[in-house]
Amino acid sequence: MFYLTEIEDYVRVEPRHFGLPTMESVEKQLNESYVDSVSKDLGFVVSVVSVNGVGDGIIIPGDGAAFYKSRFKLLVWKPELHELLYGTIKEITNFGAFMNIGPAQGMIHISQTMEDFVSLSKAGTLHGKSSKKSLGIGDNCIARIVAISYKAGDPKIGLTMRQPGLGKLEWLEEKKKKAEKETRKTKRRDSKKGGRKK
């Protein structure tokens, strides 16, 4: 989920930014230090939205940088269990698929791609034996987060597409059309029955 978060912290501005106005040097340093970083507390930092205040700087002996107490807003994405995500399949492997989900990538185990026996085809797609569905690179999908692990470096995000309303967008559209067709068929049948009773 995306959040706007306000932080108050001391920003260590490196000497190479000293020639700039203070506000600009703090903003440059924040972009270098925070953007594209990941932490368990914040999540994925997408951008520095604004710098709302910069206090007087202090210099610590033995460190060539200046420290400014600053208030700033960040746009962050923090994955949450059971969150629904829209993404694009980036890679197919023999054990599943990797999906780009905004600033991160999630993994869909082969058993979680569809309700079918799934295998890797010679064409490099995941193929359902009974349903004849296929999942390949570039396919747009809706998935749900079922696992998040922060144990090593970037978080590992586990996804599923085996629940109702999830999967490749084309599959969902086909299912919707099929349901609409069944509804029309039922209405016609019911109207014929109702006409005979009169």
Domain CATH for 17 = 3.30.1490.120
37 lies in the same domain as 97: no
CA dist list (Å): 156 to 2, 38, 99, 153, 188: 18, 12, 12, 9, 50
For residue 134, give every residue at least 6 positions away whose Cβ sits within 8 Å of its Cβ, in sequence order, or none: 121, 123, 125, 126, 127, 128
- Whether the pLDDT of residue 198 is over 60: the answer is no
Average pLDDT of span 49-59: 93
Q: What one-letter code names the amino acid at 82?
A: H
- Whether the pLDDT of residue 197 is over 70: the answer is no
Dist. CA 147–CA 139, nearest whole Å:
22
The torsion of the CA quartet 39, 42, 46, 49, rounded to 10 degrees, works out to -140
Q: Count structural domains, the chain.
A: 2
Q: What is the pLDDT of residues 105-162, one digit of tens each?
A: 999 999 999 999 999 988 899 999 999 999 999 999 999 999 999 887 778 999 999 9
Single out the residue of 16, 13, 119 nearest to residue 57, CA to CA. 13
The three-class DSSP label of residue 132 is coil
7 lies in some domain: yes
130 lies in the same domain as 66: no
Q: Which domain holds residue 24?
A: 2-77
